[in-house]
Amino acid sequence: MPSIPPNDADADALRDLEWMRQVQNGDLEAFRLLVETHQNRVAGMIARMVGSQFDHSELAHEVFVKVWKSADRYQPSARFTTWLMTVTRNLVLNEFRFRNRHATLSIHDTAEGETVTNFDPADRSAPSPSTALEEAELQNAIERAIASLPEAQRTAIHLRRFEGLSYEEIAAILETSVSSVKSLLFRARTDLRESLREYLE
């Protein structure tokens, strides 16, 4: 009976594991490949956690510096990406503690902190200005609603919705149980439905 080939996720996990083994031996080229492969994922998580309050690129750089310095302590008991998201979250939380800020966070900000809508009047497939305005208003409402969630709920939503992680992986990152993750997601979705009620009706 022929063996079943690994799926893409398994192949990616094995690739990351091999790169980390090389990084543990001081291989700068393997580290460069890790950074290039995962920097957008890290930056995306940081953006959704802190909005425009901090410099995303600076924090992402610090994450990978931490990866390099902590490589010898990495144990492949979980996917590399799970460990990477844990490092990212912890670094961001430490940054908040250091700056002693507890302001409401925003997500999906552009570099200038504004929502950009491109509209070409000659493009009949493009939304009308009124439709684009409504969509921008809805998007802003969604962002505000997610931003108002407690940090753990907001992170759980990000990891589930945007990263597509399993409950087990999210539990590992948040350092909690699977049942707690499900509870966090349930409460987050309930709060979001309440916050967005006028848009959903």
- Rounded percentage of the chain residues whose pLDDT exceeds 70: 74
Residue pair 160/185 in contact by the 8 Å Cβ criterion: yes
Please tell me the CATH code under which domain 105-201 is placed: 1.10.10.10
Decide if 10-104 and 105-201 have a common fold.
no
Decide which of 16 and 154 is more confident: 16
d(CA 91, CA 101): 14
Confidence of residue 133 (pLDDT cuts 50, 70, 90): low
Q: What is the pLDDT of residue 135?
A: 65
Confidence of residue 53 (pLDDT cuts 50, 70, 90): low
What are the residue ranges spanned by the domains of the chain?
10-104, 105-201
d(CA 39, CA 34): 8
Task: Spell out the CATH class of 10-104.
Answer: mainly alpha
